[in-house]
Amino acid sequence: MNLLLVDDEIFTLEALKLQILDLPLSFSSIHTCCDVADAIEYLQDHSVSILICDIEMPGGSGFDLLQWMKETKRSITSILLTCHADFQYATEGIRYHVFDYLLKPVSSAQLQTTLENAINFTLERQPLQKKKSDLSASYSESEDLSSVLTAINQITQMIDQHPESSYSRKELASRFFVNPDYLAKCFKREVGMSLPDYVSKKRMEKARFLLQYTEMQIQTVALKCGYQNFSYFAKCFKEESGFSPKEFRQKFSSFS
């Protein structure tokens, strides 16, 4: 598994690499780049599994690199570095399926936990990507499947950007002119989970970010994530994370 580090601050870049080398993690290679152009040039010729990239850099931001990766269909688990928590970054990151954020200066414990999670996520995702590729190839001649795959891609983007909204299978099927049952079946087969489960997953991702990187009241977090009933939000959060919202904030908040 190959790791790419991108940061315009040379000392920060080298220090981060040394931190990772000291961790009990096994990477085939760890390469460093000083800007987006250098990173793009490297990615064109090398396979990378995990990326850690600074957001704010002269000559191109971390999001510019993620946009290029999206346009060139490179599936890389991406972690962004930032000097300060900003919910706008979270909103932008949702568009590019950012896996996690690291606040500078990064502690070795936080770095290890994040990378371990990223490695596990990358390994779990590989069979799903192969299955998706095989399915697309098997049904490439089917116009119906082509239409529903396009719909699924747009629906996942909508949910990623606005997980707090309400998503009805019938309404979505009507909007994209596909059969509701067929949409539900293909969505689960393509994405690996049902539409309601995907919405719930993205809501929980947003909730974890808000609890960890903002001081927003927990009741407000619930509303921002699409939960009108706080008790139900707390129950779902506990089932998904193993912590109550309050416990999660106390343990992981960047402000504690």
Band of pLDDT at residue 142, cut at 50, 70 and 90: low
Q: What is d(CA 161, CA 163) in angstroms, rounded to the nearest whole number?
A: 6
Q: How high is the pLDDT of residue 127?
A: 76
In this structure, are 9 and 80 located in the same domain?
A: yes
Question: If you count them, how many residues does the chain have?
Answer: 256
Quick: pLDDT tens for 156-175.
999 999 999 999 999 998 88
**What's the pLDDT tens digit per position in 15-69?**
999 999 999 998 999 999 999 999 999 999 999 999 999 998 988 889 999 999 9
Residues 198 and 249 in one domain: yes
**Shared domain check, 116 and 160:** no
> How many Å apart are CA 256 and CA 245, to the nearest integer?
14
Residue 135 lies in a domain: no
Residue 131 lies inside a defined structural domain of this protein: no
User: Domain with 17 in it: what CATH number?
Assistant: 3.40.50.2300
Range of the domain at 21: 2-125
Asked if 147 and 248 sit in the same domain, the reply is yes
Q: Rounded to whole angstroms, what are the CA distances from 43 to 17, 102, 154, 155, 222?
A: 18, 22, 26, 28, 39
**249 lies in a domain?**
yes
> Looking at the domain assignment, is residue 187 inside a domain?
yes
Q: Where are the beta strands (DSSP E) in the chain?
A: 2-6, 29-33, 50-54, 77-82, 100-103
pLDDT in tens, 222-244: 999 999 999 999 999 999 999 99
Number of compact structural domains in the chain: 2
User: Using alpha carbons only, what angle is made at residue 90 by residues 89 and 96, rounded to the nearest 5 degrees?
Assistant: 90
